[in-house]
Structure formats: structure tokens, C-alpha cells
Amino acid sequence: MTAPPRLNAERLGSLPTAVERPRYDREAVTCGIVHLGIGAFHRAHQAVYTEDVLAAGDHRWGILGASLRSPDTRDALKPQDSLYTIAVRDSERERLRVVGSILDVMVGPEDPEALIARMSDPTVAIVSLTVTEKGYCHDPATGQLDENHPDVVHDLAHPAAPRSALGYLAAAIARRRAAGVRPFTVMSCDNLPANGRTARRILTRFAALVSPELGRHVAEAIAFPDTMVDRIVPATTDIDRTHVGRVLGLADAWPIMTEPFTQWVIEDHFVAGRPAWETVGATIVGDVAPYEAMKLRLLNGSHSAIAYLGYLASHETVADAMADPAIAAYVAALMDDTTVTLTLPAGADVTGYKASLIERFRNRALKHRTWQIAMDGSQKLPQRLLGTIRDRLDRGMPIARHALAVAAWMRYVTGVDERGNPIDVRDPLAGDFAAIARDAGPVAERLAPALLGLRAIFGEELAADERFRAAVTQALSALYAKGAKATVAAYG
Ligand code: CS2
């Protein structure tokens, strides 16, 4: 069988009629947004909302995507005029849509100056980010810039050729200021607590290390709205590529697989205008915090628990794990334990929200690997699980279920699974985990305190709390003694 021809602008007319496509003049679109970290999540989420704004006739908001590391996305999208498909799936149906809001893709390291120049263009009003938690070069426990981070040290020494998003932002902000170009808005779309405020704190400190004036300028002139972003987007596989190619009759080198659900809550705080995202489904609010806590603690907290326990219990995907009644019961109970710590958004139906999360996790049409979610736990645990644990401890409430999730993370980061096979642990602190696991051995009483000593994750106070130490050690002993499957059943 010969491969189908490549998706591109000229061939849009040949798509099957059921496939949605850009119905506006892409040539008329100008670039109003530079997006750093052009991964699958951005393409399934913000780029789709923006696509709807373009389709409604406001052509100022085309997106220039940038990768700060690998050329893969550019290599996939460039030959197809930056067009790509999203496949929206649940067990009943699949809907395909070709999205055109991304106008071009650049690769930062290939030509940093070119990216800084594009970010300095006066038409650019927003620089948005999905660089993952670790892309902020911060200390996850405190939310402060990690001034010893290798990328931070590098970028302060080489401001014209940065590696991190912080370095690019500082360089572009400085250049715009020197040229008298209006400041842009920095919009974080990562799963960090108070992502706008966190980005502001970190970038202000970074800029102050460049020069005190630049630090002041960032703090005073740049807007950093908080956002809550939500859509489940598993990594694309070759099976997905082949399937989408067959349906389109055109080859798409990087289609995006996602779920029907999508949510975006944005703080209305922009200095140079923004697309009318509220006309296409986003919610604009004065305070994102309640939405964000609900999402980070209920969705992402459960996700991380499912990832570690599910992986240990040999479940490849979230849906596989949720098909195990013991895990499903545990997750429901974990969410109930979490709920008491939340200040809910006005009018929120938290019972309905939790039920919808269970449904979303059960979506068998998505192959969301537990291994994918297990990545970078050192950056995720604080906002997903540890905040809830602190709040429950403050109220004198038991924390056993959340402690089990932390213990499962500990068991996972030792790098050896329950059958003695190696685990591919991906985390900025993977080296520390390996050294700790080597010294402690598979002994809960040694392993738990050693991992709790990682201050960047646990901070001082929680790590010293006897109730927390005891609960985690007990759960970890159970995981070693009985395995994940039996232990989860006992905690549900
Ligand atoms: C997941 C998130 O990979 C992960 O850590 O928990 O990417 C999750 O799928 C999204 O936040 C859903 O909005």
C-alpha cells in the first residue's frame, strides 16, 4: 500500500466532508501570539479555542509555535503548512478536525535570535507557555526561582542565546522595552498552582538578576494572568497516525488524540488585548484560584495516584487501571477526602464534577499511559497531593489515602517494579532517587525518611510531621509486603 499524500493547505479541499477544517482565509491571519512549548497539550487546547476565534472573523490572533528543545514538532508540521488534526474520541464516536491557528513553528536552539526577534514583533500581544512544571526552573516546594538551575546559570551568562523560557522572555521583554514596543502578556498554561503569579515571581527574580531595572519593569509592566487549563491529551502513537491518515486520506505526521471535554478558566488580566476566548467556550473570571485548586487536586491528584498505583499493579493505561474495581473505589474515596480541603467556585457542582472525572478516566478510546503521567513526579506532587495532605493535617483529619499515593510514588521512583523489572523513571531528580534507593534498599523504614529528605519536594515542615512520616512509611511497608493491588483494596 502506498502512503497517502501529505496533509497541506492545498489539499484541504480533498478532505472527507465529515472532517472539520479552517473555514477562514489563513493568508489574512496575522501573528498575535507566540507560544513557547508547542506540544500536544497546546495543540489540543489553546490552539483550538484560538482556531474558533479566527473562524469567527478576528484574524489578529494567529499563533507562532516554538519548541525550546527538539525539532520534532517543527519537522512534522512544517511540510504540512503547520496544519494538524485533532481526533476527539470517546467510546461512542470520533470526530476529526484539522486546525489552522498555528501559522508556523520555530525551534529555539537552532536560532535563538530569530525567536527573540519574533517575540519582539509589535503585533505580538501575548506570549503563552506550556513548558511543563519543570520548565519554570523553580523549587517546587517554595515556588521560587532555583538560582542554581543549570539553565538559569546558562541563560544569565548567555542572554542572547537562552535555553529556558525564562531566558527567552527576559530577552524579548528587554528588547521591546529598549525599542519602545508595548509590553506583552505572559500567559502560563501549565498545571502549576497560581501559574500566573508563580510565573511572575520567578521571571521577576530572573530579570532582576539580569538587571534591577529589568526586574522592576517585569513586575510593573508585564501582565501574568492565572489560568486553569483542562483536557486529557495522551501522547500520539504510530497506530493513531496510521488511523488518522486512513480517515483523512492524507498523511498527518503528528495528529493529536484527545477527549470531548475541554475547560479553560482565565483571569482577565492582559496588557495588550486578547482574543475573545469567552465567545468560544472559555470562562473569564476575576479569581482563578478556586477553579485551579479543584482541578489540580481532584483531577491531577487522582491522576498521579492512578499513575503510580496503576503502574505498580501492571496497568498500562488509566482506563485499564480504572477498570480494576479496587482502584476505582480508592480513587472515588481519595477525591472525597480531597473535597473537604477545597474552597469551591461559586455555583460549582463538585459531586457532578467528580463523577465526570471518573467517566473521563474510564474513557477507553484514549490510551493514556500511566507511565506518561508518572513522569516528573518531583514537580507535580506538591500541588497535586501535598497541599491536600497539609490541609487535612491542619484540620486533624486522617491522611492515609493520600499517603498511599505518595508511598506509591516512592515505590515507583526506586526504579524497580514489583516483578523486579526496571522502571524508566523520568524526572529531573531521577539521579537523587537512584542514589537514595541504592542506599536504603527496599526497606520502607529507610526509604521513606530518605525520600522525605528531598526538601525541593516536601519542604521542611511537612517532612518533619510525625503523622505524615508514619502514614507514608506504613503505606510503603504495605506496598512492599502485599503489592499495589492488595494494598489499594485495603485503602479504598
Ligand atoms: C496529567 C495531565 O500528565 C499528567 O500529569 O495529569 O497532563 C492531565 O492529563 C491534564 O492536566 C488534564 O487537563
State pLDDT tens for residues 99-151.
999 999 999 999 999 999 999 999 999 999 999 999 999 999 999 999 999 99
Q: Report helix angle 484-491 to 325-339, nearest 10.
A: 50
Q: With a 6 A CB cut-off, is 200 part of the ligand 1 pocket?
A: no
- What is the C-alpha separation between 320 and 368, in angstroms, rounded? 9
90 DSSP 8-state letter = -
Q: With a 6 A CB cut-off, is 45 part of the ligand 1 pocket?
A: no
Exposed/middle/buried for residue 461 (C-beta within 10 Å: 0-12, 13-18, 19+): exposed
Q: What pLDDT is recorded for position 1?
A: 59
Contact 64, 117 (CB under 8 A): no
C-alpha cell read off for 142: 517554595
Q: What pLDDT is recorded for position 22?
A: 98
Determine the distance separating the centroid of ligand 1 and the alpha carbon of 475, expressed in angstroms.
Answer: 25
Helix intervals (H) in 31-144? 40-44, 46-55, 72-77, 112-119
Q: What pLDDT is recorded for position 2?
A: 72
Contact 12, 83 (CB under 8 A): yes
State pLDDT tens for residues 372-411.
999 999 999 999 999 999 999 999 999 999 999 999 999 9
Question: Does the pLDDT of residue 3 top 90, yes or no?
Answer: no
Q: With a 6 A CB cut-off, is 132 part of the ligand 1 pocket?
A: no
State pLDDT tens for residues 440-459.
999 999 999 999 999 999 99
Q: With a 6 A CB cut-off, is 142 part of the ligand 1 pocket?
A: no
Q: Which residue's CA is minimally distant from atom 6 of ligand 1?
A: 300
Q: With a 6 A CB cut-off, is 295 part of the ligand 1 pocket?
A: no
Question: Does the pLDDT of residue 302 top 90, yes or no?
Answer: yes
What average pLDDT does range 234-261 have in this prediction?
Answer: 98
Atom of ligand 1 nearest to the CA of 191: 11
Beta strands 185-188 and 126-129, pairing class: parallel
Pocket test of ligand 1: the residue of 370, 373, 381 to mutate, having most ligand atoms within 8 Å of its CB, is: 373
- What is the C-alpha separation between 192 and 132, in angstroms, rounded? 9
What average pLDDT does range 456-478 have in this prediction?
Answer: 98
Residue entry with cell 542565546: 161
Written out in words, the top-level CATH class of the domain with range 9-285 is alpha beta
Q: Read off the pTM.
A: 0.98
State pLDDT tens for residues 14-26.
999 999 999 999 9
State pLDDT tens for residues 24-47.
999 999 999 999 999 999 999 999
Residues 6+ apart with CB under 8 A from 351: none
Q: CATH for 289-491? A: 1.10.1040.10
Domain limits, the chain: 9-285, 289-491
Q: Which residue's CA is minimally distant from atom 9 of ligand 1?
A: 232
Determine the distance separating the centroid of ligand 1 and the alpha carbon of 303, expressed in angstroms.
Answer: 7
Calculate the alpha carbon distances from 404 to 91, 104, 485 in Å: 31, 45, 12
Atom of ligand 1 nearest to the CA of 230: 13
Determine the distance separating the centroid of ligand 1 and the alpha carbon of 296, expressed in angstroms.
Answer: 9
Helix intervals (H) in 141-257? 150-157, 165-179, 195-210, 212-221, 238-248
State pLDDT tens for residues 143-189.
999 999 999 999 999 999 999 999 999 999 999 999 999 999 999 99
Q: With a 6 A CB cut-off, is 303 part of the ligand 1 pocket?
A: yes
